[in-house]
Amino acid sequence: MLLRLSRSVRELYRVCFLARAGEIGLLEFLAGKDGDVGAITQALGVEPDRVQALEALLDLGVSIGELRAAKGRYGLKGYLATALAAKGEDSWRAMTSEVAGLHVPCLLAAPGREADAAKLSELTVALSSVIARSSRMLEPVLKVVTRALIPPRGRVDLLEVGCGSGVYVLAALQRNRVVSVTAVEREPDVAKGATEAIARAGFADRCTMVNADIRTLSFGPDFDLITLHNNIYYFPEGERLQLLVRLHSWLRPGGRLAVTTPCRGGGTFARFMMLWSTVTAGAGSLPDPAEFASLLRQAGFAGASAKRLIPGESYTLFLAKK
């Protein structure tokens, strides 16, 4: 029992250590160089009375094989610590924070009472910026989807619901010089981050950011394409038909709706998402592909196709036409 459990506990500590090392800037500081406790303390701005705790954290990192220590100096050692320290791996660093900060509390609260459900909802909101970053781990797949949805030429009016970091808004704006986007994002910090990223890329004039809950908004039939990436499970099942009917009414004739989401079944990550979506207040469970396609038809869409995007996973693109 001791040996078997120790192995599993070590892996849990590994994820939590990597999450914290990323959050406090330790991975970034040690990327490509070693440092002693003094240098690390200074670089991370650790208070003098917390140095002993920092040393204990570093020693735990050594004990699980993510750090090495020699002659009082620490460096990166493990595959994950080294890979996560690299520039461009921010989504995976955020994923360790999401797992440690949200998945673990969710598992510990399941199946949960009303108070647990409310707490998880608050925790999800508090971690919105982390979730917007971790969602980008799907970027390689969803950038291909964006390319397929946006023609390289010709005017396209796009409405993106729950745009998170804005990465797919940017991809659409980059793909076609006359695309115009209305991006909706409920969380103020996340909307601000996306607005800044879009402005930095020089696309502010072709994107209107609306910081609001999509359920409170109303549009005319002004869009050629509406996209919802990784957020249909933020809408309770009982509200989805009404949401889809409204999205349908905002499309021009021939306009398309694209929804990407993990569905029921699939691998461990999709199973966790199913748990989160059923334990958390205000969320709705992952869709069943056949049921969701049928709901799209009920909402008035002429046809609805469902295509799995990742081999062995339940991650699906639903495409429906007005």
Ligand X SMILES: C[S@@+](CC[C@H](N)C(=O)[O-])C[C@H]1O[C@@H](n2cnc3c(N)ncnc32)[C@H](O)[C@@H]1O
Kindly write out the interface string for residues 21-50 of this chain, putting x where it contacts ligand X by CB under 6 A and - elsewhere: ------------------------------
Name the burial class of residue 108, with classes exposed (0-12), middle (13-18) and buried (19+) by CB atoms within 10 angstroms of its CB.
exposed
Which range in 46-54, 112-120, 224-232, 298-306 contacts ligand X by CB under 6 A? 224-232
Cβ atoms of 170 and 197 within 8 Å: the answer is: yes
Q: What residues between 228 and 257 interact with ligand X by CB under 6 A?
A: 229-231, 234
Query: Taking CB under 6 A as the rule, does residue 98 contact ligand X?
Result: no
Strands (E), 178-229: 179-184, 207-210, 223-229
Cβ atoms of 201 and 173 within 8 Å: the answer is: yes
Closest separation in Å from C-beta 190 to ligand X: 5
Closest separation in Å from C-beta 114 to ligand X: 21
Q: What residues between 177 and 206 interact with ligand X by CB under 6 A?
A: 184-187, 190
Smallest Cα–Cα separation from 318: which of 258, 269, 268?
Answer: 258
Closest separation in Å from C-beta 121 to ligand X: 11
Judged by CB, which is closer to ligand X: 214, or 320? 214
Give 152's DSSP letter. S
Name the burial class of residue 49, with classes exposed (0-12), middle (13-18) and buried (19+) by CB atoms within 10 angstroms of its CB.
exposed
| Residue 236, phi then psi, degrees to nearest 5 | -55, 145
Residue in 215, 239, 265, 298 binding ligand X, rule: CB under 6 A: 215
The two structure tokens encoding residue 203:
């696309």
Closest separation in Å from C-beta 50 to ligand X: 32
Residue in 213, 222, 239, 291 binding ligand X, rule: CB under 6 A: 213
Q: What is the dihedral of CA 201, 207, 212, 217, to 10 degrees?
A: -170
Which range in 75-83, 115-123, 156-164, 294-302 contacts ligand X by CB under 6 A? 156-164
Judged by CB, which is closer to ligand X: 156, or 232? 232
Question: Where does this chain bind ligand X (CB under 6 A)?
Answer: 128, 131-132, 135-136, 161-165, 167, 184-187, 190, 213-215, 229-231, 234
